[in-house]
Amino acid sequence: MEITRENTGELTATIKMVISPADHNESVTKILKDYQRKANVPGFRPGHVPFGMIKKLYGGAVFAEEVNKLVSDKLHQYITDENLDILGQPIPNTSLTPEFDWKEGQDIEFYFDLGMTPKFDFVLDENIAVDYHVIKVDDTMVDKYLDDMRQRFGNMINPEVTGEKDVLFGDFVQLNADGSVLEGGITHTSKLTVDLVSDQEVKSKLIGSKVGDSIAFNPLKATGNATEASAMLGISKEEVEGMESDFMYTISEISTMSPAEMNEEFFGKVFPEAGITTEDAFRNQVRNESEKAFVADSDHLFAHHSQDKLIESVSIKLPDEFMKRWLIESNEGKLTAEDIERDYDKYAEGMKWQLIENKIILEAGIEVGDAEIKDYVKDYYLQGWRTLQLTEDLLERLETIADSFIKDKPAEVRRIVDSLYGQRVTAYIKSKVKLVEKEISYDEFIKLDAEKH
């Protein structure tokens, strides 16, 4: 076999491969001999079919398959042996590769185009300044968080009069068109959440009602939700759809969540280790914890800003025409040349960032190990088990689930690995460049983040 390479540009090359009969005759003959042993052809005993007949029947297909396999193996071996740092994958050059009829006994030429990875240098230091947006939690947000916490740690009480956030318990009884009770109709005892009632006329009747009061309405029309209405009436969703009957709902109990008092007991439930005794100290703690929670959001936006900054500041030249061809080939017909041409700047930026990221990973020695991947999966499932007591049996089950996930979901594992590498790269960049901190409100942050996406 003869393999040669010719540089066709600063970042492109063409490989020529010449396959001679000696390169494949032995493997083709071996496969055909195996076919001969196993072939079941009418008129011949198994294993006694003439080799010539086997070759006539299967020779062309076996020859083509073996040549293609040989070309693929030797091409990638050549790239490895020559230590060629290529972009994407080699692309067959159909204009240079001569047509042939897949017959044995002749040399066959193949040509492949390569795009070479550009060489570039950059230094991550404080000479590179990147905006870092710090989300400030204002008093309005603190008030909202306090309201949510007080509700979460509040107590259920039974007020005398129904409010718009209350939950009612009572009996549904199906009515006739004239408002009388339908004999043999649907009856059911269930709860009714006032806030889920979208019909304002019905809601206004419920608000202000007391235990013992009765209100007539159609549950489906009142909620606009067949699932909610079926739960109220104790029947299937299919049965409730299209139901025109009104029901009399008689209230037997009113319940609502009374917000927790702003006292030391409440402060201790929310922040057990903080030793907070005053409302001002509690509000400051809420503010500080909330701002810490927003660090991940700030880092996420910083990652986009740092990518843009590095792509802009690092000079990377790409083999554009090769890249366009490769994008069409690698997307297997999903993208046209027009699609690529229109959006090529975005594809080029993505490739440049991938090259920069890979360089950072190598220079910083960033690695993501199996144990870290497994911990990520376990943490994911633990988020859903926060209300469960973590017994030894549960932890063993978690180990089994994580092992199965890693084994059975390679695409998800690949996504996790990419995410972990991305986090490490962002943290590394953050530790090296100059951070230009900018305070920003949460609403402003959401708008800015949406623009970046």
User: Tens digit of pLDDT per residue, the chain (453 long)?
Assistant: 899 999 999 999 999 999 887 887 788 888 888 888 878 777 787 777 888 888 888 877 888 888 888 889 999 999 999 999 999 899 999 899 888 766 666 788 999 999 999 999 989 999 999 999 999 988 999 999 999 999 888 889 999 999 998 999 999 999 999 999 999 999 999 999 999 999 999 999 999 999 999 999 999 999 999 999 999 999 998 889 888 999 999 999 999 989 999 999 999 988 988 899 999 999 999 999 998 889 989 999 999 999 999 999 999 999 999 999 999 988 877 888 899 999 999 999 999 999 999 999 999 999 999 999 999 999 888 877 765 667 888 888 889 999 999 999 999 999 999 999 999 999 999 999 999 999 998 889 999 888 876
Q: What is the CATH number of domain 294-452?
A: 1.10.3120
Nearest to 41 by CA among 56, 62, 25: 56
Task: Please state, in angstroms and rounded to a whole number, the distance separating the CA atoms of residues 265 and 277.
Answer: 9
d(CA 339, CA 336): 5
β-pairing, 129-136 vs 434-441, is parallel
Residues of the chain with CATH 1.10.3120: 294-452
Amino acid found at 206:
L
| Residue 25, token pair as written in the block | 């005759």
Residue with tokens 């185009």: 113
Burial of 265 (0-12, 13-18, 19+ CB in 10 A): exposed
Residue ranges of the chain assigned to CATH 3.30.70.1050 = 2-116
CATH class of the domain comprising 155-258: alpha beta
Q: What is the dihedral of CA 407, 408, 412, 417, to 10 degrees?
A: 10
Superfamily of domain 2-116: Trigger factor ribosome-binding domain (3.30.70.1050)
Half-sphere exposure (Cβ direction) of 430: Cα atoms closer than 13 Å: 18
Residue type at position 38: K
Contact 407, 279 (CB under 8 A): no
pTM over 0.75: no
For residue 131 the two structure tokens come to 């905006």
> Which distant-in-sequence residues (6+ apart) come within 8 Å of 173 by Cβ?
181, 185, 186, 187, 247, 248, 250
The length of the chain, given as a count of residues = 453
Q: Are 253 and 260 in contact (CB under 8 A)?
A: no
Which residues have a Cβ under 8 Å from the Cβ of 323 and sit 6 or more positions away? 87, 88, 115, 344, 347, 348, 351
Supply the pLDDT for residue 192: 94
- Long-range interactions of 328-337: CB distance < 8 A, separation 24+: 329/89, 329/91, 330/88, 330/89
3-state secondary structure the chain: CEEEEEECCCCEEEEEEEECHHHHHHHHHHHHHHHHHHCCCCCCCCCCCCHHHHHHHHHHHHHHHHHHHHHHHHHHHHHHHCCCCEEEEEEECCCCCCCCCCCCCCCEEEEEEEEECCCCCCCCCCCCEEEEEEEECCHHHHHHHHHHHHHHCCEEECCCCCCCCCEEEEEEEEECCCCCECCCCCEEEEEEEHHHCCCHHHHHHHCCCCCCCEEEECHHHHHCCHHHHHHHHCCCHHHHCCCCCCEEEEEEEEEEEECCCCCHHHHHHHCCCCCCCCHHHHHHHHHHHHHHHCHHHHHHHHHHHHHHHHHHHCCCCCCHHHHHHHHHHHCCCCCCHHHHHHHHHHHHHHHHHHHHHHHHHHHHCCCCCHHHHHHHHHHHHHHCCCCCCCCHHHHHHHHHHHHHHHHHCHHHHHHHHHHHHHHHHHHHHHHHCEEEEEEEEHHHHHHHHHHHC
Structure tokens at 217: 């309405």
Q: How far is CA 292 from the centre of its chain?
A: 24
Q: What is the pLDDT of residue 181?
A: 94
Q: How far is CA 28 from the centre of its chain?
A: 45
* CATH 3.10.50.30 residue window(s) in the chain: 155-258
Q: Which residue type is seen at 355?
A: L
Query: Who's near 191: CB < 8 A, 6+ residues apart?
Result: 167, 168, 169, 232
